[in-house]
Structure 1
């Protein structure tokens, strides 16, 4: 296969050419992801489905809406980006998720689950309201059906009458499993193109006259009774969809025929497709979870090309929580489809009765922890910062008003790297700040995480969050977790304030300033909500100059609170600046690249500190 080859329209290719293309694209996916890392198993499972979609739909005009979007690599290869796939998830390169600014073929942003049907329905309604002519199709995985938003979208889409196709890519669930040989035979007959076309013609003829419509209703009732006795009930049909399936998701010929029919139906259609996650790469088929999101690996064996560089915050959290749970039977762990990612695999094995994976349902998880806390348990919900955003209403209504003691371990806080805008954990300091009674702790090292987790579980009342980054600790590995804030270095010329793993960076800045004869006081915040301003204000009384370094968006961050507290105290600062991730969204790239982009690396913070030193002179 020509690795850099770009593809044109697939509308005219033959079935044999489509099968050969699928084989080539599957190898291309393996080759690219083995170099760049990324979502392998999900993309391998959707190769034939993606090719079939591109044979039927013109995605430059028709709207193909991905759910989550981690299965979009083949789509990108087929829409003018194949030659750039080696830049996948690299700084300035191709994003790992759909991105409209990257291509007109990407209908919308997609990085979180369960959103596709609602988005697609909105597009279909816009098409009808504006009198435009394009088709809409939503592609979601069975895992997305663990999220309530998916059902909200399905419920309205099925009743809307809007022509749109929802494809359920089922690679794990057993939805509407057929019972017995007769039922399986009837299911196959219902999916034959001849039957589908005949059914559509019959419907149009019978609806042409009032007697025909009456006869159609009577026959329909009889047919539904027979079908109900032989075929399992489809909740999708009850919602208003014309249900088709389940069908082989690796039969590109059959999928193409069914999609062509589905795209002509005057109403909502749900196509249930059965696929194998990791299809065509034995290591991924055998261990699809391990190859869902993976770093660079060896194509021959599937072994990772580079090992882990030490213990991660997630792993330390899982170890510490097990130790706490051994001593306190009230402690339970909750996760939202991220058991391995949040470090809870061993907890689940050791305490299966005290471990709860709720699926992709963060809202439910937060409210469930409210019930657990209300009745005397100590629930610990481990969740990525970007997904924690979904539980904001529940935090206020179900947790905070009643001041319930629930612990939220916010993983992937700060910049997360190559997953980009949809996954950076930059907003939790701002939205958690607005919740009355909330406490937020921010460890800067693994040992501080151990101490702060114990503090959160046993020594703080009400809701408490412990936020920590993806990966492991950096040059700062000490433990100064006592108190709400601590001074790591005394100084007289400028006050440097930070929290989390930026601590090591800020200490390096202080070292560089010292070589210039500038004495910097370094204050590390152990707690960012409520903000401990007293030690900072005391330092500012000495230095009169301030630099805050924070790995979050500027709006609602600790820097704003420090400046407000200084103003309220009537402090007249000679110079002050807040260095953050700004007010917008940060793209994908490595953590060092993104910190440099945001001005949070040593060199940038050093220059900013020198600028602050010039103010007022």
Structure 2
């Protein structure tokens, strides 16, 4: 049976207009259908399940009170928007949720006029709301409401407070801040703000008369039962009539209505892969990920060294810090969704004689570039950054691909960056990084299963030789970064079958370029670099510049990701699409050699040798 037969009320409410016409007594049944639909759909594809199960009644109330899309509804963070997608005609598309070519896991302007911002990095919606409300006042559209749903710990981020500071001082900007308070980010929310919200929830109306929001100039409504649609509608209608900045404090339960999520105190099934809807668990035990390996290695290192401390930004388990936090709770700090604070706090920990390890998603680390540059690197402080989900991440799409770090961090003076190719090298490089005292260090890890170790034939000046052709000229040197080593070895095998001599070497440390690498590269006719970061401004670019400075004639061909926002799709598919498969690499090498048999002294670019070209015998 299809959606219409199994979820008849949901099938009837395919637009906000249809929802507003639905009798109020049907809303509990509709909420039940939505939860059943989400559990079935998200368990089949993977996605953010727990946050959306807690958003059902609140989203219904928002869509019934506000006239979307004339009124504007913003989600912070955007992974709370699944119910919103259902109520704006996208139920049938959920079979392709987060699949290649399918529905995005976040609001998407390409999908619907109801999605105004593609908000997946937290704590930004109130700033968007501030600007929109100002624009509507200046253009005379003051009847169009601006509503920001701020939840899943986004209120712990600094940008939220910058926006609150501005909004509270501007009564002419009637932004409605719906605080979706489920007491959690990924894990339970920590800090003084979380404690203050607890006081408001337990103290009731007497405490609500004066609080941090009213002191900042907001009206305050709440706390409200986030699963009582009628109560929510009444409060939201009142908020709209006030004509001033308002905080509507709503209490919800993450994972509401789904036993496995409500029973999972660790993360309430915040984000899941493909799981059994009856249990919320995968059918088979997952293989160890790079994150798991890092967590194990860091825990061991912390056991050996009392100066090792760790920080993260609301991502304790997803970045692998759970084991160390359990063993050494006073040495692990979750600062909330506050990457900038995390980095500068780490700088001060280093000033105090400790060695901080800051574990962040690569895409979120970009939010604190200034702090890395001016607060850590300028002071030459020994802080180690471990960037999880570096490179292509897959189903989370353009905002979550960790593809910018190499290009951005290459501009930081004194920073050293490494990319382990296998679990053994992860432990080895982590120890080298935390043993460095002259400035910041970075390790980048992919979102992938950690494969088997790849032994080196030899190590020369810190460079691991993984493969060298025998009895053939050294035609091509392939320099893969980190987890692209297996692909490089496959490409080498294909090239050797066609008579091309190949060396494959793992630089281990990518930035700054190893001083021994230019001379090593000069022994070959062509050098190919492989990186799952931008091909411009990353490792390949740095190597080419270094070779030019040494007046070396071997051309460098950097292969990597284009400077573009890549869609959501499986990691391997996107790597292949960007020319980072074994076959594409071999094709590129052969075409480059055939087109320029007498290679001049210059740097080739990926566009000079199309990745999709056929082989030249």
Query: TM (normalized to structure 2)?
Result: 0.88
CA deviation vs aligned residue, 1:285-343 (integer Å, no higher than 9, x gap):
1115050011111112222234312x222112121122222222111111111111111
Equivalent residue, structure 2, for 1:143: 153
State yes or no: 1:296 paired with 2:274.
yes
1:273-422 maps to which residues of 2 (within 5 A)? 273-287=250-264, 289-309=267-287, 311-422=288-399
- How far off is 1:496 after superposition? 1.5
Task: Report how many residues are paired.
Answer: 570
SS at match of 1:263: helix
Equivalent residue, structure 2, for 1:493: 475
Distance 2:455 2:101 in 1: 35
- How far off is 1:65 after superposition? 1.0
Distance 1:117 1:82 in 2: 28
1:442-521 maps to which residues of 2 (within 5 A)? 442-474=419-451, 477-478=454-455, 483-491=461-469, 492-521=474-503
CA deviation vs aligned residue, 1:238-271 (integer Å, no higher than 9, x gap):
1111100000000112212222222222111110
CA contact 1:96–1:419 (8 Å) conserved in 2: yes
2:525 alignment partner, one of 523, 544, 548:
544
Greater shift after overlay, 508-517 or 313-322? 313-322
CA deviation vs aligned residue, 1:205-249 (integer Å, no higher than 9, x gap):
xxxxxxxxxxxxxxxxxxxxxx6xx65631111111110000000
Q: RMSD of the TM alignment (CA)?
A: 2.1
- How far off is 1:409 after superposition? 1.3
CA contact 2:478–2:503 (8 Å) conserved in 1: yes
| Higher normalized contact order (CA 8 Å, seq sep 6+, divided by chain length) | 1
CA contact 2:316–2:334 (8 Å) conserved in 1: yes
> Structure 1's 525 and 349: CA in aligned 2 closer, same or farther, altered over 3 A?
same
> Structure 1's 249 and 462: CA in aligned 2 closer, same or farther, altered over 3 A?
same
CA deviation vs aligned residue, 1:494-546 (integer Å, no higher than 9, x gap):
2212111001001100000111111112222211110126424433x333223
Equivalent residue, structure 2, for 1:48: 57
Greater shift after overlay, 474-483 or 511-520? 474-483
> Structure 1's 177 and 413: CA in aligned 2 closer, same or farther, altered over 3 A?
closer
> Structure 1's 588 and 481: CA in aligned 2 closer, same or farther, altered over 3 A?
farther
- How far off is 1:442 after superposition? 1.0
Equivalent residue, structure 2, for 1:214: none
Structure whose CA Rg is larger: 1
Equivalent residue, structure 2, for 1:605: 585
Distance 2:468 2:47 in 1: 44
Equivalent residue, structure 2, for 1:222: none
- How far off is 1:464 after superposition? 0.8
Distance 1:18 1:85 in 2: 22
CA contact 1:495–1:523 (8 Å) conserved in 2: yes
- How far off is 1:131 after superposition? 2.1
2:561 alignment partner, one of 556, 581, 586:
581
Equivalent residue, structure 2, for 1:108: 117
1:200-279 maps to which residues of 2 (within 5 A)? 233-279=210-256
Greater shift after overlay, 11-20 or 475-484? 475-484
**Structure 2 segments unaligned to the other structure (5+ residues):** 5-10, 184-193, 598-617
- How far off is 1:466 after superposition? 1.3
CA contact 1:416–1:591 (8 Å) conserved in 2: yes
CA deviation vs aligned residue, 1:155-174 (integer Å, no higher than 9, x gap):
11122120121100011146
- How far off is 1:13 after superposition? 1.8
- How far off is 1:572 after superposition? 4.2
SS at match of 2:223: strand
CA deviation vs aligned residue, 1:445-473 (integer Å, no higher than 9, x gap):
00000111111112452111111112333
Distance 1:582 1:411 in 2: 21
Greater shift after overlay, 503-512 or 547-556? 547-556
